[in-house]
Structure 1
Amino acid sequence: MCSEPTLSSTLTSDVWARIYAAIDPQHHWKGQTYKGKVAFITGASRGIGRAIALFYAKAGASVAISARKQETLQQTKDIILEDVPHAQVGIFPADVKDPDAVAVAVSGAVEYFGRLDVLIANAGASLAFDTPMVDRDAKMWWNTFEVNLFGVYNFVRAAMMHLQRTHGHIVAISSIGAQFRSRFASDYEISKHALNRLVEFIAQEYPEIKIFSFHPGGVRTELAISTRLEEKFGVEFSDPPELAAAATLCLTSGRYDWLNGRFYSVCWDIEEVERDWKDKILEKELLVSKLAVS
């Protein structure tokens, strides 16, 4: 649900035309800026996660991809290798809700690749925005929290000691919905709001790493379709997943570490945010969850 940004890119296709100059991935691809680094991407079997995995591979990173199903992860690996034939891609299936399975997946990736530099926590869930909370099946309502919040915690917990060694980065895929209070969306919006707060705590407790909560835009993912979000908000979800992938490469590059522990939306030109808002954001401790009285 981005407003239309002013875009300037050397890329020419309709999809890449949405990628503005400040996050143009060609710098990373041509310079192989992630060569020698390892990125672990959850929810990598489709959509945003698949695009992010491909972008890191094109930038030279070895990529560990995770989701519940081996066969869909193999599809992602095949797509990456078709585009980047010499890419190093490892498949590590896990249910984000199972801390033991997550620990096995992360340790397996580190054993296979030798290190871990980037964690992209992308798996997400939601019920359709059509029923009051007390009329929900309680376990289904709570399942959204288990995926969106506990799932991120599980991967951060398993990956932290490895990321501390490399002074790595974490991107938790959040949502602009974390800032909303929409009727019938309690499970999704509360869990994403809590996720943003979790990111703030991680930034405080683990200064060796940098972490961001990240809104990837209005992408027409399977989740968006199944929950009828376009109908709910009366907008078309037209942002390509590659827009989020390009911004993610940018966020974990080191240049924007000053956004550590904060919420960032792909709808904002990150170069403009740095130029026009950085001082105010740092001075007033903005882009975090807080109560304000004016």
Structure 2
Amino acid sequence: MPGRLQDKAALITGAGSGIGLESSILFAQEGANVLLVDVNLPAAEKVQKLIADRFPNVKSAAFKADVGKEEDVKAAVDKAVELFGRLDVMFNNAGIMHPADDNALNTEEKIWDLTHTINVKGVWWGCKYAILAMRNNPVDEAKGLHTGGSIINTASFVAIMGAATPQLAYTASKGAVLAMTRELAMVHAREGIRFNSICPGPLKTQKRDRRLVHLPMGRFGEAVEVAKGALFLASDDSSYMTGTDFKVDGGLTSAYVTPIGEPALPPPSSLV
């Protein structure tokens, strides 16, 4: 049975770890040819080897790029088209949260600028060059329509709700991603190019986190759960969705008072 992304060409940034890593594996498992883009090339190469071993029928490659540099983003998109002949899915996932990011009084301008260069300009450039590539995709002769593509941008739950743990540059950058995604969705809707943002909630870390008490499901999310959301947005299952803020947050952004008790469901295992 064909996978949900059978023979589609995908590019994922930040593919060497976390959500990008799990998405790369899941997309390949569902039949996509995948270009794994990361500023840390050895990390991306490690994931690419895993994909090559598990899924020999799909094409995959690792590519080094810093999404904070426009020429790197263009080169990555060009490489995907060179390898796969087209681009169907662009997952602008790479981003940073700088440890020196703080509130309006303490965040330095250089931290603000660095965060917005990577988290906002990087997404803008990813969208820009993906649009140009997707415009060259062939027409679906059966439907008489341009095949377009799906562009997914990683935002965050903090773009929707405020927090008393300040990370102002990061929060503002993710709010920009939401607004940019909505506008691009409207501008390019008639071209068959869909834009959706994915908003992860807090993910599992090694340390105990005081935010756990606020999570309705009683546990942190796993990167693989966000990857499954990205798969849905990448696939034709979401063909009538564009301009959506797709929340994968365990109910956090809908919560006022959280329930008492044990977690309702155990977390899924990673694909790694």
Question: TM exceeds 0.5?
Answer: yes
* Partners of 2:79 and 2:16 in 1: CA distance: 18
* Post-superposition offset of 1:154: 1.0
Indicate conservation of the 8 Å contact 1:127/1:141, yes or no.
Answer: no
**Identical columns (%):** 27
* Post-superposition offset of 1:229: 9.7
Paired letter, 1:46 = S
1:215 aligns with 199
- 1:64–1:196: structure 2 CA closer, same or farther, 3 Å change rule? same
Which of 204, 211, 232 is equivalent to 2:186?
A: 204
Secondary structure (helix, strand or coil) at the match of 1:31 reads: coil
Matches within 5 A, 1:138-157: 138-157=109-128
Secondary structure (helix, strand or coil) at the match of 1:39 reads: strand
* Post-superposition offset of 1:254: 2.4
* Post-superposition offset of 1:96: 0.4
The structure with more strand, counted as a fraction of residues: 2
Indicate conservation of the 8 Å contact 2:181/2:197, yes or no.
Answer: yes
* Partners of 2:246 and 2:59 in 1: CA distance: 29
* Partners of 2:66 and 2:114 in 1: CA distance: 12
Structure 1 runs not aligned, ≥5 long:
1-29, 270-294
TM-score after normalising by structure 1: 0.73
1:175 aligns with 156
Matched, 1:194 2:176: yes
* Partners of 2:161 and 2:64 in 1: CA distance: 32
2:16 aligns with 45
Indicate conservation of the 8 Å contact 1:125/1:148, yes or no.
Answer: yes
Paired letter, 2:247 = S
2:231 aligns with 249
Secondary structure (helix, strand or coil) at the match of 2:67 reads: coil
Residues 10-64 of structure 1 show CA distances to partners (whole Å, capped at 9, x for unaligned) of xxxxxxxxxxxxxxxxxxxx43232221010000011110100101101111001
Indicate conservation of the 8 Å contact 2:9/2:88, yes or no.
Answer: yes
> Which moved further from structure 2: 105-114 or 85-94?
85-94
Superposed CA RMSD: 2.4
* Partners of 1:77 and 1:150 in 2: CA distance: 26
2:209 aligns with 230
1:23 aligns with none
Matched, 1:113 2:94: no
Secondary structure (helix, strand or coil) at the match of 1:134 reads: coil
Matched, 1:266 2:248: yes
- 1:82–1:100: structure 2 CA closer, same or farther, 3 Å change rule? same
Paired letter, 1:68 = V
TM-score after normalising by structure 2: 0.79
* Post-superposition offset of 1:181: 2.4
Indicate conservation of the 8 Å contact 2:185/2:242, yes or no.
Answer: yes
Indicate conservation of the 8 Å contact 2:212/2:219, yes or no.
Answer: no
Say how many residue pairs are matched: 235
Paired letter, 1:86 = N
Indicate conservation of the 8 Å contact 1:230/1:237, yes or no.
Answer: no
Paired letter, 2:92 = A
* Post-superposition offset of 1:268: 7.2
> Which moved further from structure 2: 118-127 or 250-259?
250-259
- 1:103–1:131: structure 2 CA closer, same or farther, 3 Å change rule? closer
* Partners of 2:208 and 2:171 in 1: CA distance: 12
Indicate conservation of the 8 Å contact 2:157/2:249, yes or no.
Answer: no
* Partners of 2:182 and 2:74 in 1: CA distance: 23
Paired letter, 2:157 = I
- 1:121–1:230: structure 2 CA closer, same or farther, 3 Å change rule? farther
* Post-superposition offset of 1:137: 2.4
* Partners of 2:77 and 2:102 in 1: CA distance: 37
Greater relative contact order (CA < 8 Å, ≥ 6 in sequence): 1
* Partners of 1:132 and 1:218 in 2: CA distance: 19
- 1:100–1:232: structure 2 CA closer, same or farther, 3 Å change rule? same
* Post-superposition offset of 1:129: 8.0
The structure with more helix, counted as a fraction of residues: 1
Matched, 1:185 2:167: yes
* Post-superposition offset of 1:93: 1.2
